[in-house]
Amino acid sequence: MDKNAMGTRIRPGEGGELRDGVTVTDRVHAHLRGTQDSLTTPFLVRENAWARDVFAASVQWMQGHGLLTGERRQWLEKCDIGALLGLTNPHADRHLLRLAGDWYVWLYAFDDGVCDEAFTGAQAWDMAHLTLRLKRAVTGFTPGMEPEENYARALFDLRCRIAEHATPAQLVRWTEAVRDYLNGQLWETMYRATGRTPALDDYIAMRESASGCLTCFALFPVLNRYDLAEEERAHPDVEQLSRSANRIIAWDNDLFSYWKEQGDHSAIANLITAVAQQRQCETAAAITYTRKRRDDELATFLRTEKRIARYLSTEGKKYIANLRNWVSGSLEFHKTSRRFAPAPRPVHL
């Protein structure tokens, strides 16, 4: 879903001393921090008053399924994912918000415990095997009781509870989004395992699935008790709004997580790295270009919303409002969470 905190490396060939003792690393790091601090959206930031209490219960659910233990679980709790839950779902029903809380904690546990830092995150074959089991679970097949099936069992449990509140079509949308997310994670793992940086267009396409945002968007109608008609959801402008929101959120995350990824796996699956390779430019220029692409995508969102606003149904307007809340809430979380603090955290494998 996201890519943690920060690390300390830059692209090869960009080291060396500048005058007054300032290194290229320092200059690029300062440029990145300035870019992060200056990111904005025109959308209001709101927070669900029940989110932190709900998320505490979700952490207990995670612990009951054995998804993260010890220092990893403590780190996840310190990152205050409960704030993200509230910021991105400010008007969700308190009871139904628990479904999102469990999904968020599953995503972050999977990200921290498997994709980025566990051994399966570096082994494409292991990830492929795990992904297959997870796809079966989210589709409705009961997982086994082996210890390695803990993520599948938790996913199956959540899928069954979502089914109690979702329409059949809403459940299918969420299931398909989760399967696409798992494909995206497998794609990232394959690139890390081979040490290859994806082409820019390939990265942009696959990041839309790997970000995990579409899985959260699919839950909007369930959490907020409305039913978005398939014809309206599939309208080209509504799809564009979903795509733009997803890209803004994912690219904000790439900007905030770049240094941490440099320390872990050379930021192979990051927009900044893909830009630098495609345009044959240094990291500072790639950061500037990434920021421009992000702001252009925000402008696309605003133009599209203005064009379609008067044609939207009540349910369609609620969906677009949910997208705006996710964009602004995610950015607020990135700016305030310890998960993205400047100081690198130790990684315990």
pLDDT in tens, 98-155: 999 999 999 999 988 888 654 445 577 888 889 999 999 999 998 887 767 899 999 9
Residue 99: closest CA among 2, 1, 171: 171
Identify the pLDDT of residue 228.
97
- Report residue 69's pLDDT band, with 50, 70 and 90 as the boundaries: confident
Q: Percent of the chain having pLDDT more than 70?
A: 88
Q: Is the pLDDT of residue 204 over 80?
A: yes
Q: Is the pLDDT of residue 71 over 90?
A: no
The answer to whether residues 276 and 199 touch, using CB atoms and an 8 Å cutoff, is no
Identify the pLDDT of residue 144.
81
Q: Is the pLDDT of residue 160 over 60?
A: yes
- Report residue 33's pLDDT band, with 50, 70 and 90 as the boundaries: very high
Distance of CA 200 to the CA centre of its chain: 19
Identify the pLDDT of residue 349.
26
Q: Is the pLDDT of residue 36 over 80?
A: yes
Identify the pLDDT of residue 147.
65
Of 117 and 172, which is predicted with more confidence? 172
* Average pLDDT over every residue of 279-295: 97
Identify the pLDDT of residue 153.
96
- How many degrees, rounded to 5, is the angle at CA 215 between CA 326 and CA 314? 60
Q: Is the pLDDT of residue 6 over 50?
A: no
Question: What would the two tokens of residue 119 be?
Answer: 């051994």
Distance of CA 199 to the CA centre of its chain: 20
**What is the Cα–Cα distance from 286 to 120, expressed in whole angstroms?**
30
* Average pLDDT over every residue of 243-257: 97
Question: What would the two tokens of residue 156 be?
Answer: 């199956």
Identify the pLDDT of residue 247.
98
- Report residue 18's pLDDT band, with 50, 70 and 90 as the boundaries: low
Least confident residue range of 27-31, 162-166, 224-228, 337-341: 337-341
* Average pLDDT over every residue of 315-321: 98
Identify the pLDDT of residue 288.
98
* Average pLDDT over every residue of 164-184: 97
Identify the pLDDT of residue 258.
92
Torsional sign, CA 193, 194, 199, 205 = negative
- Report residue 13's pLDDT band, with 50, 70 and 90 as the boundaries: very low
Identify the pLDDT of residue 22.
64
Question: What mean pLDDT is reported for the chain?
Answer: 88
Q: Is the pLDDT of residue 2 over 50?
A: yes
The answer to whether residues 51 and 310 touch, using CB atoms and an 8 Å cutoff, is no
Listed as own residue / partner, the contacts of 260-264 with beta carbons closer than 8 Å and 24 or more positions apart are 260/3, 260/4, 260/5, 260/6, 260/7, 260/344, 261/3, 261/4, 261/7, 262/7, 262/8, 262/9, 262/10, 263/6, 263/7, 263/8, 263/9, 263/344, 264/4, 264/7, 264/116, 264/117, 264/347
- Report residue 344's pLDDT band, with 50, 70 and 90 as the boundaries: very low
Highest mean pLDDT among 11-20, 256-265, 327-336: 327-336
Least confident residue range of 123-132, 156-165, 296-305: 123-132
Q: Is the pLDDT of residue 222 over 70?
A: yes
